[in-house]
Each structure stands twice: as structure tokens, then as C-alpha cells.
Structure 1
Amino acid sequence: MRNDTNHNFDRRDFLRYGSAATISTIFAGCTGNQSSDSTTNDSGDGSPDTDTSDDGSSGSGSGGASFEYVTTVAPSSLDPMKGSDNLETIVLHNVYDPLVYYTDSTPPELQPWLAEDWEVADDGRTYTFNLRSDATFHNGDPVTASDVQYSVQRMMEMQNGFSWMWSGILSPENVTAVDETTVEMVTTEVFAPFLYTLPFLYVVNQEQVEANAASDGNFGEHGDYGTSWLEDNDAGSGPYVLSERERSRQIVIEQNDDWWGSFPDDRYSSVTTEIVQESATAAGRMREGAEMSDQWLPLQTYNDLEGGDDVRVHAKATFNPFYIYMHTQRAPLDDVHVRRAISYAFDYEAALNDVMAGDSDHLQGPLPGAMWSHTEDLPTYEQDFEAAQAELDQSDYSASDLDLNYTYVSGLTTEESMGLLLQSNLQELGGSLTVERAPWSNITEMAANPDTTPDMLAIYLSFSYADPDTFLYPAWHSDSHGSWTSAAWYQNDEVDRLLTEGRRTVAQENRIPIYEEAQRIIAEDAPALFVMNQATRNALSESVQGFQDNGITGYRQTFHRYHQD
């Protein structure tokens, strides 16, 4: 198909193009396959392996069944301060413990983890965490406040992985080990979502990492900070121990018998992540008895699997919003009436039922309905050509002035189909739209400058922590301009004020009306087509119990909660 598709597009043709691909596929797919050599968790340097030994190191994998997770992507890193894509986060949060954890509810709540409780001072910046006294690392060492302090230092000095969450918010010098089990963190300013980011701050064993750090590296006296060693070994305290990594082929983790937490009866004592190249191979593994697939398979593949024996497909719309950004600083899209006219022209029913499979939700404004503070009574656009023409009549433009371009990520057929649908809708209104594709790397470069940002850009907004801020601030605050998350170049001083206030207001009940008002203004300004909250799919064996989709990257696969029927 050509980049500049300009023909009319029949609704029935969408059935050929629907897929479940998302922008996260790009992040996962760009990790690249690494050399195929097999390693086991031989920690070396006096650090024991994962088998029970006389020196008190933890045992693993006693009892229980094996779980096979099949995926078409490979991780680029298993270092807890470098990994950040979906598969990496799945492995890391099952091997490493953070201070706090997400529940499996929707929206997820925070629950104590390594920190059994915590306090927030009246200044809204000082957090005191009290650690569990019974948590030990996989080599038997106790988890201490110094390990937490070191983990923050390592994260922020390496500047990889999820470090962006705490950039300008948390500095290593402001983290103090008060005693063996008490940690104090002081943020540079009030940042209300802070606690909700901490499930992505994994705690590592300082002594073990330092003992296995190579002297030559990019981190001064820390050498390579143990990064090479951590690709094939772990320094965690989580429910599973990294047992084997065969690059581009498989990762094996085994139950940590000395974990402070608990496993259900009929638990899975080992989890093998099988990395395959083709979606057809993944589907074949599910038919042969694998327990779970990833979420990146084509929609038709899930449909085929659901029709087979012993496999079910889970589909749920949680936190996967799809926007079509409109460049609000370029004519004619700088006119709010033009943007509203386009919003009324788009066929949302066809998008949800023809492009998709009918299990995604129509977005009401910029925030998914599963997120707390979502406002139900926002202006919501449905296809209405009379309303579209009425909006155009209030603008300085006619339909013939709507000569726009739409850009989507190469290979994402859902985004392409949405563009072709919009093209057909605008032609019916009297305008025109050129549909173009571009690699993800090119799109991030385009969106960095208002002159090169497309008129309209298809984006799945990434979800990180369970807080409205993760969607609203990156997309709609003017401080975020220059990022692909803010490709509308939207500028509204009142929205800026509200989103800043939302970050600086600690109590959730006080934040809700702030975000409700911000959503209302954004919806009225129509800086994007708020198309859908896309359902996320996984194929599962009928025997797997305990899977709950809370919508959080990685935290959907909490293997220690799973058990057999």
C-alpha cells in the first residue's frame, strides 16, 4: 500500500486490517535479539547459585508445576535499573522486590511490600519507609535500608530504565538509611504521584552487585555498576530466582522457597519465557499446551485461538488510550471549531466495531474510564455531519481548506486503518487527508519540533504508574512540548495551572476535582480525536487461575499469584 493513500475506503475493508498492535510493540520490538548463548545463575565471586546450599542461600522450585509464557519479543536487558519495556518489567518485578506493590484490582491500589508501612510528613516531600525484618535476598543476605539507598543511587546515576520517573524529583543524596530497616526519602518538590512510581524501583543487593562489578566501565569508581553480571544473574529478593537465560530463546525463573511472601496452593514453581520469532509459532505453542501468550499477536490469531480447545482469550480495556493528535498551532487546526468539526466527522462506531473487535471502549475525553478521577459527563463526540458543518460555519475555514496529513507508525495496521477511515470521513465532509507511515524513530524526531510535527499523528499513549498524571501531564501540559506524548502542541494556561496543581496536591480526594476540571477544558478544546481505550489481549490455558488484568505494564503477569485449576 502506498504511503499517500487517497482513495475512498469501504467500511467492510477494515476487517482486513484490524490488529491488536500498540505503540508498546515498538518499544518491545526495538530491543533486538541478542546472541544465542546459554547461561545459568552462577553468581561467582563467592555468591551462591539458586540451589539450596549449606551456606544458607535460598532454595528454588520445590513442588508445583511449570508455567510457559510465550512471546514474540526479546528483552534488551535484565538489569533492574535498565529494563523498562513490557517483557523486561514482567521478569524484573517477579525477581526483584520494590518497596510497594500494585494490587490486581482495576484501577490498582498500592499495597505494602518490602516496606511494611510508610509515613508522609506534613511538608508533602518527606517519606519514611519501614522495611520488613524478614526479607532476604536470594543469596541469604538481609534486605536493609542501605540496599534501598544504594538502589536509588544506582538508578539515578545510571540514567536508564525507569529513572525518568524520578528525574528532578529524587536525588540520591536525599535518600537516607536511618537505621537497618528505616529509609527516609525527601523529594525536591511535592510530587503527588511519587508513591505510585515506586513499584518500578527495584531493590538490589548492594554487596552482591559491588562484588560482581567489572572495574572498567562508564560509572567511575563503580566501574560497570555490575551491569554485565546482572544480565545473567540476579541480586534480588523477589518470589522467583533467575535460573537460566538463553538469549533470544528463553528465560527461566524458579520459585524462591525463602521468599518472605506466600504462594497459593497448586502454584507454579518455575516459569519459562519462550521467545519465538513468529506469531504463528506462538499460537502453535499455545495449542501444544503453553500457559500464556503475550499481548502482541494479531487480532485474527487471538480469534483463531479462542475457537480451539483448552485456550481462552482474555480481552479487557484498561489503560491503553488511542489518540489522533491534531496540531493546534498550525492552520487550520489552530481553530477550535475546525478541530471540533473533524471530531464530529469521525466514525467512532466503525473504529470500534470494524477496525477493532468490539471489545474496546470509546474514550470520553483524554482519560481512560478505568482511571480514578475520570469524568463521565464530558463532551463526547459521535459522528454527526450536521454538527460538523455547523462547527465549520463558525470557523474562518471551509471544508475545502481541510487539506491535511495523517502519520502513523510503520507496521501498525490498526493505526493505518484508523487513518484510512478518517480519510474517508473527511472526504465526505468535503476535505482531504493524506495517510502516511513513518518508522517510530522518525516520528519521535518529527514531534520534537512544531515545524516537523504532522498535522495529525496517531499515538497510543503509554501508561506507567497508576495515577492520572501519567496521562494528562505528558500530553497536555505545555512543559511537555517537544515530546511525542505532546504532539498536539496544545497550549492552555488554565490547563497548565490545573495539571501543576494536581501534582502539588497530595490528598487524592482534593486532586479529583482538579483533574475533572482539566479534562472538561481539554475535551472542549478538542486537541485530539479521543478514539478508543483499546482492549489488551492474552491467550491463556483454561487451567490457569489467578490472572487479573490491572492494566499495569509488567504487573499483569504476577506469576506468584497464579495457580492451576
Structure 2
Amino acid sequence: MKKFAMLSSLLIVSAALAAAPKDTLVIQEAADIPTLDPGVTYDTASGAITENIYETLVTYSGASLTKLEPLLATKWTISNGGKTYTFDLRKNVKFHTGNPMTCADAEYSFERNLVTNSADSGNWFISESLLGTGSNAKDDKTITWARIDKAVECNNAGQLVFNLPKVDPAFLAKLAYTGQSILDSKHAISLGEWSGKEADWQANVGKDLQNSKLSQQPSGTGAYKFVRKDANALLATAFDDYWGKKPAIKNVIIQKVAELAARQQAFLRGDADLVEGGGRAVDEEQIKGKPGVVWIDDLPNTVATGFFMNQNIKNNGLLGSGKLDGKGIPANFFKDVNVRRAFSYAFNYGQYITDVQKGKGKQRTMLLPDTFPGYDAKVKQYKFDAKQAESYLKRAWGGQVWKNGFTITANYRAGAVPSQTAMEILKKNIESLNPKFKINIQAKPWSEMLNDSRDGKEAMIIIGWAPDYADADNFMYTFYSSNGYYFPRSNWKDAQVDKWLDQARSTVNTAERNRLYSLVANRAYEQAPYILMPAGVNYLAIRDSVVGASKATYNPMISFQTGTFWKELSKK
């Protein structure tokens, strides 16, 4: 899954005191749920729910990161030199409203994603595949209804046909992302969403879907259907007419509980089956070794996380005086590479690995999982070095930073202990260099942070990226390209890097792509647009009464919670 990744860990637990019923899975997490509309689902908290309410044409096979198998499709063929994909769709599938799923629903779903494509959604990469651009019709005037209509259509045999302008070897993997789920078109249209016709397509271009009618009243084909939601809880229940194997667990309850201590207490009482933890160090101390708990370790981590140092902060409320006078910072404070290098040297990577990850962490050389092709372990790394940090801060802004000092306000996701700890480590080390340096850190709700960071309104935050599909481009372009999804959050641009990344997209030669990604990584080391957070080794803590989540079945491309769908879980 894609998308915005929350820096945290999750523990799977059963009802230790039988407080959580056998037929109910209770999940507690710190984050709120920004949306339930697949067309704009682009964060892990939302995706973990939509992937169980909705379904895609294909999905990952078992624990494989690259092998795909049919889900709502039954088979497919590739023709026209790799530019035409034809899918046979599963029959006798119903939506939660009772409407039958047809090819028209699938066509509507993809066309809606192309029409509404915006900075809030993950549809840029499917648009790149089907239209040759990640932009929508407002930003790219060459996009017409005719192009969208031709890109995906149903043939006379009821098959779904995709027509790509050029070969995309990652296209099938892109279809496995929850944002490409099949919608109940009749239901969506009845709610007042796009009609699916040319008449009102322009009025829906780039439409904000986060709180859409469909988000409030979702209807998918998944094993679980939405029942209700308020500010603090969501209820889903097993869908009686599900086409596949009926899930063993009848109800799933998602509760927002901001305080870690409260989540831990609920876990230990048995009031919750699955809780967001506080990072390895906390979880090993509080959970590991407790009676009935099985600790599953050494699971793959496909998330890349970094400190974002925004070079164009569009929020006067975080700038203080707006000047380098010790009482604030200018909006382009991080534009000076000396500031970014200094901050990179000021973070204590080893301390974070020890304190948060309990020694089970790895400092990567680039914002790409080390299990992905394209990762280069030979690229230089920043190490904690207070003298180097001081040296660069003395050079920054012609010496004005060191002379006058600064005050920065940085936000972290409310309830995320690892993010808070990382901020505290950086704050302590920076402030120890000069009494005129001040970093104020504060908690902020997840949805607010997502929206403000998208608009360039966060000065310095920690955000990760969980892959939409298993290809290096999904990370490298996202983080490092000025056309990438994360650009508005960092506002870092390097023309040579953009050129290398575009070249990597235009070739299927693996060796050449890897060479280009190494060039990007080395350039990023020099320019330090991000502080690279150490990658933890994933783990699950599961009680022996919860069945279905294991090392053999764990797939990080499916869910950041369990590595599997809810329908695969049961309770003894």
C-alpha cells in the first residue's frame, strides 16, 4: 500500500480477558481515518480499511511482493506490444447495496480516478499509465474526455480493456493498489457523485473526494461492509453475500485512542485485539514475553521514512518573526544546503536505533527499501557528528544563523511515539550546539498534518512512504523528483535529478535503471533534502487465540496492520 506511512508499529492481540467477543476484532490506533473513498485513499490508516471493504482486479499472491493473482478479475491477456490489457471479470459478484458488479462498474471506477485525479489521491500513477501524464485536465489541457474514454472501456464480450499509450511494466502491480478498487457505480451516482458521462466530467476534474458522499456511504464488493462511523470509532461487519469464502470474524471495530498508555491497558485487559504500539523498544518491554503472546520477528519493512525540511514554508504561523533574528525563521530557511547538512549530521541515528528500535534497525543510504532493485548500499551516509553540524550551521546563511539563532516549530503525528522520540533527539542535539537555537515540537492530528503538508504548510515533519506497487520508481520519483508526489512537502528541486529519474522511467533495462538510481542517491547525499530515518525490522505480537497472521503469510504490500486481509483472520 501507498502512500503516507505512519511511523509506528502494531500489535495483534486476542482478547486476553475475553472482553473482545470471539466474533469481533477490535483495533485501536492513534490515527484518525481521513477517508473511505478509494478514489482519494492515499494514507495507510484509510487504506487498511478500504482494502477490506473494496476489492481490486488483482492482488498479491501470498507473501510475494511481485507475484500477482486474480481477485475481481479471473484472467487477463496482454497484446498490442504490451499496450493493451484485456480482463475477464468475475461473475455473480455483488456490491454491499445488492447491486451486481458489471464491467460498467469497473470502467466507471477507473474513469472516475482519471477525471478526479488530484494532489490528494494516488491516481497520478494510474494516470501516467493510461494517459501518459500524472496531471489532471485542469493542469494538462491536452487531456480530453475522448482520451479518458478510450483509455479504459468495455468490449462487446463484457471484458474490461485498458489501452496504454506506451508500455508500462509496472501496470499490473499498480492495479493491485486499493485506490484502484472497483466502485458500485449506480450507488455512487445516486449519491450525487460524477455521472460517468461526458456531460459533467469537467465539473469533476480534480474534485476533493476526502469527505465525499461515497466516503460517508461506501459500497464495495469486499468481505466486510461499512456500518457506521463517528469521530472516534468505525464499525464494519461481514458481508453475507460475499462471493468468496465467508470470513470467520463477523464484526470489526476500529477505535481512535490517542494515548499509548490507554491502548496498552486495553490490550492487556483484552478490550482490544489489535493496537498500535509505541515502537520496538516500548513494545518489547510492555508486550513481549507476556503469557499467551507469540512474538513474530524479522518481517520485511518496505516503508521508507524521512524528516522533511520544507524549503518553501507556506504557513506564517510556524515562522515566528519570519526572520533570522532568533525569534523565527524565513520561509526558505531550509533552502540553504548548509542548514540541511547540519540537521542531517545532528540527528543521532544510532541512538534512535537503540532507543526506539531496540537495536533492530538499519540506516539506509536512500529512501528506497533495501529489498528493492535499484537500492545502492555503497552510497555515503550521514552519521551523527556534532562538530560537523556546528561547522555547517556556522556557514549557513552567511553566518547569520549562528550569529542570530533561530526558532522552528515542528509537528509530529499525535500518538506516534517513534516520531515524537525522533523529534526530541533532533531538538536536543540542535539546541545543544548554540543557546540561540530553539526547536518547538508539538503533536498534530494525522489528517490535519496530511492536508497541511500537502499545501506546503509544515516546516519540518516525519512522513514515510509505503509502496503502491513493488518498483523502485514508486519511491525514487515520489521523494526525489520535482514532479513527484512529495515535492510540495519538501520543495527541493534538482534539474539533473529530474533528468535521471525521467530516463529511468523510459527504459526497461534493469542495469541502466539501477545506475541512474545510484546517481540520484549520491546527488541526494550531497544535497541532503531529507534526514533518512533508520528502517526498523517489522514484527507482530499476536496472542495464540488469533489465527491467520504469521511470518509465512505476512505481506507488507497488503496491510500495514497485519500483512493480510481481515477475512483471513479468525479467533479460537
Say which SS state the counterpart of residue 479 (structure 1) adopts: coil
> For residues 409 and 173 of structure 2, what CA distance do their matches in structure 1 show?
33
1:320–1:460 Cα contact (<8 Å) kept: no
1:106–1:551 Cα contact (<8 Å) kept: no
1:371–1:468 Cα contact (<8 Å) kept: yes
1:283 to 264, 269, 276: 264
Gapped regions of structure 1 (runs ≥ 5): 1-21, 28-63
Map of 1:105 onto structure 2: 63
> For residues 39 and 340 of structure 2, what CA distance do their matches in structure 1 show?
41
Is residue 47 of structure 2 the alignment partner of residue 66 of structure 1?
A: no
2:546 to 522, 544, 547: 544
Map of 1:242 onto structure 2: 225
Cα deviations across residues 518-559 of structure 1 (Å, max 9, x unaligned)?
223323433322132246666532232332443346463412
CA shift in 2, pair 1:396/1:430, >3 Å: same
C-alpha deviation, 1:320, in angstroms = 3.4
1:292–1:539 Cα contact (<8 Å) kept: no
> For residues 435 and 187 of structure 2, what CA distance do their matches in structure 1 show?
63
Map of 2:161 onto structure 1: 184
Is residue 303 of structure 2 the alignment partner of residue 306 of structure 1?
A: no
C-alpha deviation, 1:116, in angstroms = 3.5
1:324 to 265, 284, 307: 307
> For residues 525 and 342 of structure 2, what CA distance do their matches in structure 1 show?
13
2:37–2:218 Cα contact (<8 Å) kept: no
Cα deviations across residues 284-323 of structure 1 (Å, max 9, x unaligned)?
4433446732436577467423353323466656133332
> For residues 271 and 480 of structure 1, what CA distance do their matches in structure 2 show?
38
Map of 1:253 onto structure 2: 237
C-alpha deviation, 1:470, in angstroms = 2.9
Q: Which moved more, 1:315-324 or 1:383-392?
A: 383-392
Equivalences, count: 495
**Percent identity over the alignment?**
19
Q: Which moved more, 1:499-508 or 1:292-301?
A: 292-301
Cα deviations across residues 346-390 of structure 1 (Å, max 9, x unaligned)?
321112212554333322222232333222222123234677689
Give the letter aligned to residue 196 of structure 1.
Answer: A
Give the letter aligned to residue 480 of structure 2.
Answer: W
> For residues 75 and 463 of structure 2, what CA distance do their matches in structure 1 show?
35
Query: Where do 1:163-202 residues align within 5 Å?
Result: 163-167=123-127, 170=130, 171-187=148-164, 193-199=170-176, 200=178, 201-202=180-181
Map of 2:183 onto structure 1: 204
Query: Where do 1:397-436 residues align within 5 Å?
Result: 400=402, 403=405, 406-410=408-412, 411=414, 414-426=418-430, 433-436=437-440
2:7–2:463 Cα contact (<8 Å) kept: no
Say which SS state the counterpart of residue 504 (structure 2) adopts: helix
> For residues 562 and 300 of structure 1, what CA distance do their matches in structure 2 show?
26
Is residue 462 of structure 2 the alignment partner of residue 459 of structure 1?
A: yes
Q: Which moved more, 1:526-535 or 1:505-514?
A: 505-514
CA shift in 2, pair 1:77/1:429, >3 Å: closer
Say which SS state the counterpart of residue 372 (structure 1) adopts: coil
Q: Which moved more, 1:320-329 or 1:358-367?
A: 320-329
Map of 1:558 onto structure 2: 565
Gapped regions of structure 2 (runs ≥ 5): 9-20, 131-147, 313-329
TM-score of the aligned structures, taking structure 2 as reference length: 0.69
Cα deviations across residues 249-306 of structure 1 (Å, max 9, x unaligned)?
441321556524x57xxx6242422425454554344334467324365774674233
Give the letter aligned to residue 569 of structure 2.
Answer: Y
Say which SS state the counterpart of residue 237 (structure 1) adopts: coil
1:107–1:370 Cα contact (<8 Å) kept: no
